[in-house]
Amino acid sequence: MLIVWGFRVFDSSGEVFSPGVAASFLVLCGFGVIHAMAHLDSTVVTQLYKMVGGLRPPADKGPLIGEYEGPLLLSSPENHLDASPNTEALAAAAIEEYKQSAAAAAATAAAAAAAAADSFSVLLRLLSNAAEHPHDERYKRIKLDNPRVKAAISNHPPLLRLLRLAGFTGGPGAPELLLAPDASMARLQVCLDLVKQQQQQQQQQQQQQEGEQQQEEQQQEQEQRQEQQQQDELQQQQEQQQQQQQQQQEQHQQEQEQQEQQQQQQQEEEQQQQLQKQQQQQQQQQQGTDECLQHQREEMHQQLQQQQQREQQQQQQQQQQEQQQQQEQQQQLEQQQLLQQQQEDQQQQQQQQQLQKQRQPLDSLAAANSSSSSSSSSSSSSSKLQHQYML
């Protein structure tokens, strides 16, 4: 902190409270201020003040007091009450520094953009109110402890530096900033224009981001549609394959049926041929002797009998199989019944054993009671016999 005659020209953060007031104090201080600035040439305060257009110290430190015979003050080519290119550069640097700090503090780019948009909207409203109503005391005062202002501006040193560049004054611990009476409206307008440009850029970026998001969403929708189309095509292909398989199966079944019909027709034809042969043979036999006819009839009869026997054998085999199945089922049922009976007998035996165990103490008690009663009855009977004997 630089203090000149009890007045604080720079605060602890290196900010100029009021450019005009600071310049006037520095002019009054003369060579002592130049000497102090020469020692602070490497500090942020001196560099910023040089950019604003304040007193410029010489390239070298120069002689001490009493050793220099030339003029003690250096002229400044710029007026602190007017806008200068350095004001725009400093304001742009403050905005860029804030953007970098907001991007570093935010978790995502979207969150950083939202925070920056909120801060620039509040800053734009404050600067525009001060520019439109320069004589209204309500708009010349910024309360830093306001929750909205605190979140958007007070917690960000680059934005506070931007307000001081615009003409607002106030210490680091002050609860509010005041627009200096000699503040330059041109510098205020430069800061306001930069904030407007920044807000427009952010709006354009947001629009671009929204457009990119829309494009991404459209691409995703197109990809989803393509995937859905591919799935539909796959389903159609699968359905076509299934239909083809069904058609092939139906064709195969039809071919099998046709083959079976052909076989049946062949069998019928063979049977007809056999019948025809038999008829021919019969005719031949009829034409021949009766013995041949009888012999043929016997053969036919034998064949029929053989067929009947075969059929009977098949029936018997089927009956035997059915009987065996029934017997097996009966055996299984009988085994199940036997098992159930055995289980029931075991349960009954267990119950009887439990009852016997429970009755043993009762039987012992009953035996004891019966023995006592028998002893008493025997004693009474013996007494009766003695009495009769005495009589």
Q: What is the pLDDT of residues 300-348, one digit of tens each?
A: 888 888 888 888 888 888 888 888 888 888 888 888 888 989 889 888 8
Closest by CA to 17, choosing from 152, 145, 179, is 179
* Residues contacting 260, CB < 8 A, separation 6+: none
Amino acid 378: pLDDT: 60
Position with higher pLDDT, 22 vs 174: 174
Show the DSSP H helices in 173-289 as ranges: 185-287
Picking from 80-89, 151-160, 331-340, which range would have the lowest pLDDT averaged per residue?
80-89
- Percent over 90 (pLDDT), the chain: 6
**Res 128 pLDDT > 80:** yes
Interhelix angle 44-52/85-105, nearest 10 degrees = 130
Arithmetic mean of pLDDT over the chain:
75
What is the helix (H) or strand (E) element at residue 153, kind and residue range? none
Which of 366, 370, 390 has its CA nearest to residue 378? Answer: 370
What single letter denotes the amino acid at residue 133?
A: H
pLDDT band with cut points at 50, 70 and 90 for residue 374: low
- The whole-number pLDDT of residue 383 equals 62
Confidence band for 21, pLDDT divided at 50, 70 and 90: very low
Across the beta sheet with 141-143, what order do the strands follow? Answer: 141-143, 176-179, 168-169
Distance CA 275, CA 279 (A): 6
Pair type for strands 7-10 and 141-143: unpaired
Domains and CATH numbers, the chain: 1-77 (no CATH), 81-216 (1.20.58.2190)
For residues 113-125, give the mean pLDDT: 85
Q: Is the pLDDT of residue 355 over 70?
A: yes
The pTM assigned to this predicted structure is 0.36
Tell me: pLDDT of 351 over 50.
yes
pLDDT of residue 284: 80
Mean pLDDT across the stretch 349-370? 80
Confidence of residue 250 (pLDDT cuts 50, 70, 90): very high
| CB neighbour list of residue 199: distance below 8 Å, 6 or more residues apart | 117, 120, 121, 124
Q: What DSSP designation does 183 have?
A: -
